[in-house]
Structure 1
Amino acid sequence: MIFGHDTEAALQAAVALINSTGNPDALTTVQAVDAWYAEHRYTGRRDRDETELEELRALRPVLRDLLTTDRDHAASLVNDMLSEAAALPQLVRHGDEDWHLHAIDGDAPLARRVVVETAMAMVDVIRLDEMSRLSLCADENCQGVLIDLTRNRSRRFCTTACANRNAVAAYRARTRTR
C-alpha cells in the first residue's frame, strides 16, 4: 500500500466521481449517487435530493483540476479547500474501519465532505511527491483520470475497457503491417 487506506479510498472515490462525466454521464440521478456513495463507503449525512446530486456534479471539474494539476498548484488548491471548509482533522474510528482521519463533521453536506476528504488525501500525495500517480488516461479518445497504485507505476488506462480497446487497436495495427 502506497498511501493509507483512507487516502487511497478518497482518491479512488474522487477519480470515480470525475470519470462519471463520460458519455453517457453516469451521475444523473439520486440513485446513481446512492451507488457511488455505497461503492466508496462514504458515511455521514445524505440528503438524497436533486440539490445534493447537482452539488456533486459541480464538483467534478474542481476535483479534476486538483488531481491533474502540478504539485504547487495542487498545494494551493488544497489549502484553499481546507480553509473554506474550516477543516479540523481528527482521528476517528467507525464501523469496521480502524483509526483514520476525518477533517469535517459527518453532518456536513456530502459535497463538502467529498471536497475535504479529497483535499486531505491530496495532502499525502503532495507531501510524498507522488503526483505522478495521478494522470489522464492514455486512450486518446478518453478524458478519464486515473490513479496508479501499482508498485511499478505501470497503469496507463482509466478502465479495463480503455486498455482493451487500445490493445485490440495495437494488435490490428501490427497484423495490418505483416
Structure 2
Amino acid sequence: MLTVSLLAKHFGGFTALDDVSFEVRQGEILGLIGPNGSGKTTLFNCVIRFRGEEIVGLAPNAICHRGIARTFQIPRPFRKLPILDNVALAAHYGRNTRSTEAQARGRAREVLELVGLPADADASTAILGAAGLKKLELARALATDPQLLLADESLGGLDPGEMAG
C-alpha cells in the first residue's frame, strides 16, 4: 500500500532523513519512534506516492479522497464549529464525497463514540482539554474512512492519566 525507498531529505547542511526505506501493507500498523527532531514529521511530509499513484502537488482534499488521512502534532479544530460538526465535516469531505449531511453526522457520532468524545450536536470545542483535542484530531481523520492513517504524535504532550482516558 505504501512503500518508502531510500528516502533522503536535507535542509541546507542538515540531514533530516538518510536512506529511509520501509513498506506498509494493507492492515498493518507501523510505528515510527525517535526523539524530537529525528525526522518523523518530515518523513510524513515526504510521502509522494500512495498505491503506486503520485500525490505530490495534490490539494489536501484530493489526497484525502485517495484514502490518506493525517493527524498533526498540534490539533487545530474549527473553533467556531461544535465538536460534532468538526467531525461531520471530515466525514462529508472524506473518501465518500457523496454522503448526505445526515450520513456524515451519523458517521461523526460513530467515530466520536469510538474515541470517547461527546456527540452532543452543540458541544463546543472549547470544553476540550489537550487530551480531548487529540481525540478530536483522531476522530476527524478516522471519519474520512482512510485506507492509510498517518498519526503524528497522537499522544505527544499528554500525561499518563490523559493517555489512559
Q: What is the TM-score normalised by the length of structure 1?
A: 0.23
Q: What is the TM-score normalised by the length of structure 2?
A: 0.25
Which has the larger share of helix?
1
Which has the larger share of strand?
2
